[in-house]
Structure 1
Amino acid sequence: MLSEYYATLSHLDPWMQSAISLGALVVLAYVLRFIVRLLLLRVLRRLAGSLPQGWMQNLLDARVLTRLSHIVPSLVFQAGVFAIPHLPSVAANIIHNVAVACTVLAIGRVIMAVLDVVQDHNEASLSSVPGTRSLKSYVQLGKLVTALIAAIIMVGALIDRSPLILLSGLGAMSAVLMLVFKDTILSFTAGVQLTGNDMLRVGDWLQMDQVGADGAVVDMALNTVKIRNWDNTITTIPTWRLMSESFKNWRGMSESGGRRIKRSILLDNATVRFLTDAEVRELSQIALLRPYLESKMQEIDAFNSEFARKAPDMAGEIVNLRKLTNIGTFRAYVNTYLKAHPRMRKDMILMARTMESTTNGTPLEIYGFTATTAWLEYEAIQGDIFDHLMAILPEFGLRAFQNPSGHDVTIALRQGEARMLSA
């Protein structure tokens, strides 16, 4: 067949034979590329549709198959360039070397398309499969390595030298490369540790005060991690900083199903006192408090009776006897109220405790966990609890501490003037 082709062109000038043959080779290369692309997309894509969902189906993606067909023209040129009649050997070698470089480039682009498909599959799994780890940093590193290797092989093909010679020359440039890719190397190492130890995932709530980050992780790349803060701003953190500095991951709170309440009510020290018998009887009408008061009064009466029997001459002094205090009774009520609350976790720590007194009063701290981690529900539960406790304080003869305002000072002055005038 080739002899007939050469006989047809034999009457033409040599340069014309070379030009026509080169044009025919170009047409043949791209016709074959079209045919191969059509076969790949029609046959293999149908095959992918019959396969179960998985990696194999994703690897038969249209992007991968289309780039795979781009290898055909360069292969045709490699195989046919030396068959072109009257083409100078130097030109044939140059075209052959360029075709080899184009083949390497096309193979590199196929590998990058595969990595893109892997990344898309991973991103889809992040939202649908709990616990999936982000592969974006690995994919980006794979692209970088593929590009570097492809570039070295292409340069070697273009200059008609072994790529090993170029690689041996890179040893002297290692210090420069380490300096240029310092952040990339550090970030990749940090990314491997973060994902390998399951320290951070896309979707986690991350708090890193030193860089002003407090929000959800939306992207984990090779060099950066993006955080969408709760005010909808974006904070970009170099990946290596997540290993060199500390950060708080709230994933444990989300997975536990309980969000902590740790807030105090400041009680005015001046309102703390013993309860009278009448006040005890009145507080006994509170259903949540009655079991506590009955048990506590029996304990106190037994102690006071025993003390009166042993020291009857001192039983009349109140300091020698036990009595209920309003702050202790209120603390008992808060504990009972929290345990009866339907939206508080009973299997986690749940208590009300009196903290050390300060110049701003005595803090009564609520420490417990809500039965939800959703922000809006959590705030609603917390707000309802403290609304109720603040409103019921007067029933126990207590008052929340508050620094005096200008209005308070004005009222006090007026009351003082009124007393002076009445005197």
Structure 2
Amino acid sequence: MAPYETDDSAKAADEADDVRAGRHRAARYVVPVAVVGVAAATIGLVPALASSGDPDLPKVTAQQLIEKIAKSDVQQLSGTVKITTDLGLPDLGGLAGGFASGAVKGDGGSSADPQSKLMELASGTHTLRVAADGPEKGKVSLLDNASEYSVIHNGKDVWGYDSKSNEVYHATAPESAGAKGKAPHDVPATPKDLADEALKSVDDTTSVTVDGTAQVAGRDAYKLVVKPRQSGSTVGAISIAVDAKTGLPLKFTLTPASGGAAVVDAGFTKVDFSRPAASTFAFTPPKGAKVTEGDDHESAGKTPGHRGPDKASPKGDESLRKGDKDLAGLDGVKTIGKGWSTIAEFDTGGKGMPSGTKGSSGNSDVDGFLNSLGDHVTGKFGSGTVFSTRLVNALITDDGKVYAGAVTKAALVKAADAAH
């Protein structure tokens, strides 16, 4: 189907202004299901488009569709979201997920702490069951073959439960959680969450168009397409399927500039906008379960958990190209460039990872393994190693400087040379 609106230079500036205005309004609205997000941002979905053909819907502009997202006020829903991640990382045989869980438990934490689940969702295919009833009640369950992990937000309480280990994590939601629709440990888990992050990136470096219609989870939807105008970004395009009736994003797909399978592609396979039963959000620790109080461990500095929504987001979330000001606000981080080609620069204050010697870990075998995962590069800055995924690349120089972003290896080397 031909696009409803094409990207031409004559109206690019006006459209960017309109889209920016809509973007700021959209950022104020967060779907309540986000209150208990536990998935990583860099996630994907086996496409759930219906085979009945594209629905015939009234034509809309990109600005009108962004406004529709901004005005979306879905308070109740339940459904299933399928998630698959393809960052192109090497298969470590579950080592990463086991390390993340073990690190938390080793610090006196709990396997039920949402932080211990983030690494599991950074790769592979997962199914989430979600429910929400206003900003104070939400639930997300990660379904496994023989177990289930859930995070439940009910009023002032946030519970995490791992049925496999029979462990419970409990924390108190901050007073601002209800107003923002966010809860402790919250990271993007639904197409709406991811769409909000993508819309923050909309500025004059961005093309935004409407590219036809689709059906997702049995719902008629418009397809909003966001693309970088700049060269050097690893992001090819972001497609957001927006429910024609409610304005709720139902599906989110991020494809890399290099082509191939989507890196991020998240969407509902089932969705129901009726109010879930109150029992959905009720939780009592099972008999014999080990209960860990999150607030106690945070105050004792024993666990990295219970961080705010922004800091809890994994690096994949930042790969959607958070704004220059967001990066500049981090301690010791400078930014190079703008828009989708923004590169974060910081100094580790130590040595880099020279191949074949005892580098940052102090162990030549470990450093040799880590270097085998990267590409050795040289330039005016000296030499270093580039570690790559299909979306985010990072250059670590031998003198301890780090350059990272959703940009190509060549862009990182150029930035390092310019900063030298």
Between 1 and 2, higher relative CO (CA 8 Å, sep ≥ 6) is seen in 2
Settle same-fold status: TM greater than 0.5.
Answer: no
Which structure carries more strand by proportion?
A: 2
- What is the TM-score normalised by the length of structure 1? 0.21
- What is the TM-score normalised by the length of structure 2? 0.21
